[in-house]
Amino acid sequence: MDIIREKTVCFTGHRPEKLPSGGADGSVEVKVIKSMLYNEISAAADEGFDTFITGVQRGVDLWAGEIVLELAAARRLRLIAALPYRDFGKGFKGADKWNFGRIMDSAERVVIMSESYTPACMNLRNRYMVDNSARIIAVIGNDRSGTGQTVRYAESCGLDIRRIDLSELFPDTDQLTLL
């Protein structure tokens, strides 16, 4: 399976504990974030993007991967799972574990950056996603994070950046100061 960069979108975003309401499933904030992700992914598919890369991290990455899988049957979309290291995800629990397993089973390709954890493996995964995409969908509340670092790299590479800005969506949420 070849990746056609011009038809590929990747995702970046925070883990649940760094999101408003702690990323509690069913919270109004998470419903809004998932709805906006759905709209961005659906719009990208309408524009001809057919390949989506998720870093399969808890939170935004898993949610985006699930949405792609939901839309894939009707739209012929492909999902790529980019793992920072081989055993990534082994410690996930509950719904995260189930979603991770579903994505891993359904992804058209799984790409592994490193056989074991290294201090650089997360950054390598993020760069792989950006280097193989024309667009990035970013759920971001603070630029001083791995998500912010990924967005800055995407900017330097000239990607089309679609921001779901948490500080604009939830300006009164104290949780955002923790990012």
Residue 151 sits in a domain whose CATH number is 3.40.50.450
Q: What is the mean pLDDT of the chain?
A: 91
Mean pLDDT, rounded, for 53-80: 95
- As a whole number of angstroms, the distance between CA 32 and CA 38 comes to 10
Mean pLDDT confidence for 19-40:
88
Half-sphere exposure of 148 (CA within 13 A, CB side): 8
pLDDT at position 20 is: 78
Residue 177: pLDDT above 60?
no
Q: What is the percentage of the chain residues whose pLDDT exceeds 90?
A: 73
* Of 141 and 178, more confident: 141
> For the chain, what percent of residues have pLDDT higher than 70?
94
The β-bridge partners of 162 are 137
Q: Per the structure, how many domains does the chain have?
A: 1
What is the structure's pLDDT at 140? Answer: 86
Summarised one tens digit per residue, pLDDT across range 74-119 is: 889 999 999 999 999 999 999 999 999 999 999 999 999 999 999 9
Domain residue limits at 9: 5-178
Query: Distances in Å between the alpha carbon of 36 and those of 29, 118, 132?
Result: 11, 33, 23
| CB-CB contact of 153 with 129 (8 Å) | no
